[in-house]
Amino acid sequence: MKTSHTYCILYSGAVLLLLSYGTNASSYLRLDPPRIVASFGSSISANCSTDVADYLLLDWESPLGFSKKTGPKTVTWIVESLTEWDMKPFCYINVNTDVPKQLPLSLTVYKTPDTVSISTVNHAGPTVEGRQYELKCDIQNVAPVGNVIVKWYKGDTLVGSTTFTESSKTPENLLATLQISPSRDDNGAQYRCEAELDLGPEGPQPPPAVMSDPLNITVHYVIKVEIKSEQTWKAATNSCDVHLLCRAPEDQTVSYRWRGFKEKDGAQLNFTLKPEEGDVTLNCTASGSTGNSSNTTTVKCTPKKIATDSPNSGASFSVLHLLSFLMAASPYLLSTIILGVKSYRARAKADDVNMVSEVREAGE
Range of the domain at 59: 4-109
Give the β-pairing of 157-163 and 127-128: unpaired
The arithmetic mean of pLDDT across residues 44-61, rounded, is 92
CATH classification at residue 156: 2.60.40.10
Enumerate the β-bridge partners of residue 161. 151
Domain's final residue, options 283, 299, 315 = 299
Give pLDDT tens digits for 282-328: 999 988 766 778 899 999 998 887 655 444 444 444 444 444 445 55
Q: How are strands ordered across the β-sheet holding 280-288?
A: 264-265, 255-260, 280-288, 291-299
pLDDT for the residue 269: 94
Nearest residue to 137 via CA among 116, 111, 153: 116
Domain's final residue, options 271, 299, 327 = 299
Listed in sequence order, the residues at least 6 apart from 201 whose beta carbon sits closer than 8 Å to its beta carbon are none
Provide the phi-psi class of 65: left if phi over 0, else alpha when psi is between -120 and 50, else beta.
Answer: left
Query: 124, 169 in Cβ contact below 8 A?
Result: no
Give pLDDT tens digits for 136-162: 999 999 999 999 999 999 999 999 999
Enumerate the β-bridge partners of residue 91. 60, 103
pLDDT for the residue 99: 77
Q: Are residues 206 and 161 in the same domain?
A: yes
Q: Is residue 187 part of a domain?
A: yes
Q: Are residues 101 and 18 in the same domain?
A: yes
Listed in sequence order, the residues at least 6 apart from 53 whose beta carbon sits closer than 8 Å to its beta carbon are none
Q: Is residue 150 part of a domain?
A: yes
Terminal-residue alpha carbon distance, the chain: 193
Give the β-pairing of 226-234 and 133-142: unpaired
pLDDT for the residue 9: 36
CA distance 71 to 80: 20
Share of residues in the chain with pLDDT > 70 (%): 76
Q: Are residues 105 and 9 in the same domain?
A: yes
In the three-class reduction of DSSP (H, G, I as helix; E, B as strand; rest coil), residue 306 is classed as coil
Residue 332 has pLDDT above 70, yes or no: no
Q: Is residue 182 part of a domain?
A: yes
The arithmetic mean of pLDDT across residues 196-216, rounded, is 95
Q: Is residue 323 part of a domain?
A: no
Listed in sequence order, the residues at least 6 apart from 128 whose beta carbon sits closer than 8 Å to its beta carbon are 219, 220, 221, 291
CA distance 215 to 191: 5
Domain's final residue, options 270, 299, 328 = 299
Q: Is residue 308 part of a domain?
A: no
Assign 22 a pLDDT band (cuts: 50, 70, 90). very low
Give the β-pairing of 35-39 and 106-110: parallel
Q: Is residue 345 part of a domain?
A: no
pLDDT for the residue 253: 72
Q: How many CB atoms lie within 10 A of CB 181?
A: 11
In the three-class reduction of DSSP (H, G, I as helix; E, B as strand; rest coil), residue 356 is classed as helix
Query: Whole-model pTM above 0.75?
Result: no
pLDDT for the residue 13: 43
Nearest residue to 94 via CA among 86, 104, 102: 102
Q: Is residue 311 part of a domain?
A: no
CA distance 254 to 292: 9
Give the β-pairing of 190-197 and 148-154: antiparallel
Q: Are residues 144 and 86 in the same domain?
A: no
CA 362, distance to chain mean position in Å, is 128
* Total of domains in the chain: 3
pLDDT for the residue 222: 75
Q: Are residues 212 and 125 in the same domain?
A: yes
Nearest residue to 123 via CA among 194, 217, 212: 217
